[in-house]
């Protein structure tokens, strides 16, 4: 005897929704959740509809001075729907050993960082990898060192990956950001 299966209406609800950006696809960076550097829950859907530069940062790295350029980019372009999102990582050379409070203090004191910073996470592939970097890695690139940069479009999909040596001031990065903002 065949039985009819009931469809559960809860399964038809969207997986995530966004504030100003509208619905967020489950295959979007903006569908993910994380924690702020202050330990508060953070829903990345709040950035849907914006262009984001997602950066794995570290306080004791040769690339650490890039914080200044990242802050300058953020200040210059935030009014146009652009945001820099910093994710501290201790994966490369143990160059981010500090606590959340130490990281926040270092960034504020030395570089005047005002862009959103989140809790330390694992960028490298493996069982401990953060879901954020598992998603970003689907683009075919994972950082091989600190200050790897993902340009994420308004739809939450990775537009392009830039390795550590590409500085925030580089024309290559600036052109990609401008193109993403225009789309």
Render pLDDT for 126-169 as a digit per residue (tens, 0 to 9).
999 999 999 999 999 999 999 999 999 999 999 999 999 999 99
Question: Which CA distances in Å does 83 have to 59, 74, 76, 90, 95?
Answer: 20, 6, 10, 23, 24
Q: What is the structure's pLDDT at 16?
A: 34
What whole-number distance in Å separates Cα of residue 111 and Cα of residue 43?
25
Instruction: Tell whether 4 is covered by a domain.
Output: no
In a domain, 159, yes or no: yes
CATH number, domain of 47, equals 3.40.30.10
According to the model, what pLDDT value does residue 2 have?
43
Rounded distance between C-alpha atoms, residue 180 and residue 183, angstroms: 5
pLDDT of residue 10: 32
| Domain of 49, in residue numbers | 15-182
DSSP state, 90? -
Return mean pLDDT, the chain: 89
pLDDT at position 59 = 96
**7 domain-assigned:** no
Tally of domains within the chain: 1
The beta strands (E) that lie in 23-144 are given as 33-35, 41-43, 51-57, 82-88
Domain-embedded: residue 27: yes
Q: Is the pLDDT of residue 36 over 70?
A: yes
**DSSP SS3 for 23:** strand
Q: 132 in helix, strand or coil?
A: helix
Cα separation of the two ends of the chain: 55
Q: Where is average pLDDT lowest: 22-26, 41-45, 155-159? A: 22-26
Per-residue model confidence (pLDDT) at position 27: 87
Catalytically annotated residues = 110
The percent of residues above 70 in pLDDT, for the chain, comes to: 86
Residue 75 scores a pLDDT above 60: yes
Identify whether 9 is part of a domain: no
pLDDT of residue 9 exceeding 80, the answer is no
**8-state DSSP, 171:** H
Q: What is the CA radius of gyration of the chain?
A: 18
Q: Is residue 6 part of a domain?
A: no
Provide the 8-state DSSP code for 94: T
Handedness of CA 85, 87, 88, 89 (dihedral sign): negative
Helix 100-111 vs helix 66-77: crossing angle, to nearest 10: 80
Q: What is the pTM of this model?
A: 0.86
Summarised one tens digit per residue, pLDDT across range 91-123 is 999 999 999 999 999 999 999 999 999 999 999
Is 92 among the domain residues? yes
Residue 19 lies in a domain: yes
Q: How far apart are CA 90 and CA 130, in angstroms?
A: 13
- Using the structure block, give the residue that is written with the tokens 């210059």: 76
């Amino acid at each position: 005897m065949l039985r009819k299966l009931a469809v559960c209406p809860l399964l038809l609800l969207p997986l995530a929704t966004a504030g100003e950006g509208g619905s967020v696809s489950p295959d979007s960076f903006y569908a993910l959740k994380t924690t702020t550097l202050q330990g508060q829950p953070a829903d990345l859907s709040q950035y849907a509809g914006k262009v984001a530069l997602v950066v794995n940062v570290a306080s004791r790295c040769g690339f650490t001075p890039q914080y200044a350029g990242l802050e300058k980019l953020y200040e210059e372009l935030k009014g146009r729907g652009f945001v820099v999102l910093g994710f501290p990582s201790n994966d490369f050379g143990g160059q981010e050993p500090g606590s959340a409070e130490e990281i926040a203090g270092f960034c504020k004191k030395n570089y005047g960082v005002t862009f959103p910073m989140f809790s330390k996470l694992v960028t490298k592939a493996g069982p401990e990898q953060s879901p954020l970097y598992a998603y970003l890695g689907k683009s075919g690139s994972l950082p091989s060192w600190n200050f790897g940069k993902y340009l994420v479009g308004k739809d939450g999909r990775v537009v392009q990956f830039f390795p550590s040596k590409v500085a925030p001031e580089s024309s290559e990065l600036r052109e990609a950001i401008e193109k993403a903002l225009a789309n």
